[in-house]
């Protein structure tokens, strides 16, 4: 059995804010969880910034985003979607580890 604990949504969201804040300054810290990041951060949240966020989130949570299977543009559009995406990936990984 896997001993991994999936963090609660609020904990995940808080960590996402922290990780993105290290990258983009205080914008992600004050953004609403459903506010589009393009609105909260303006044109600073362009395609390259989204890629950088993907990279940071991967490192922080130990997951890997599959650009073919996942709709990155959708999943990384708001803080809530990022947090839900991360939790989904962690849950999938836990299921796979339990099967192994």
Partner 1 sequence: MNACVTDRPVLEAEIPFDTSGHTGEPVRWWRTPEQLRAEVELLVATVVGEVGQVVTLAPPGHLFGRLFGVELPALKGIEVHSAWQDPVTPPTWRPGVPALFVCLPASWVALRSLAPRIAELPRAVALHSAGPTTPHTRQLVGALRGHPFRAVELFGSTETGAVASREIAADARDEQPWRLLPDVHADLPAEPAERRLTVSSPRLARRDGHDAPPASWQMGDLVRPAGERQFTFVGRASRLIKVNGLRCDLGRVEQTVAAALPGLDAVCLPVRDAVRGEHYELVCADPAGSLDATSLWPLLRRALGGTPLPRSLRRVPRIPRSATGKPLTHLLTAPAATAATAGE
- 51 lies in the binding site for partner 1 (CB under 8 A): yes
- 62 lies in the binding site for partner 1 (CB under 8 A): no
- 26 lies in the binding site for partner 1 (CB under 8 A): yes
Q: Tell me the C-alpha distance between 5 and 67, whole Å.
A: 26
Read off φ and ψ for residue 27, nearest 5 degrees.
-55, -55
Q: Tell me the C-alpha distance between 58 and 89, whole Å.
A: 10
If the CB atoms of residues 5 and 67 are measured against partner 1, the closer one turns out to be: 67
- 40 lies in the binding site for partner 1 (CB under 8 A): no
Q: Give the total of residues touching partner 1 (CB under 8 A).
A: 25
């Amino acid at each position: 059995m896997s001993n991994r604990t999936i963090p609660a949504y609020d904990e995940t969201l808080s960590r996402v804010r922290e990780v993105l804040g290290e990258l983009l300054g205080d914008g992600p810290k004050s953004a609403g969880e459903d506010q589009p990041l393009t609105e909260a951060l303006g044109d600073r949240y362009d395609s390259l910034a989204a890629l950088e966020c993907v990279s940071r989130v991967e490192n922080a949570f130990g997951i890997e985003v599959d650009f073919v299977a996942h709709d990155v543009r959708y999943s990384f559009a708001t803080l809530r979607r990022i947090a839900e995406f991360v939790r989904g990936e962690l849950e999938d990984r836990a299921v796979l580890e339990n099967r192994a």
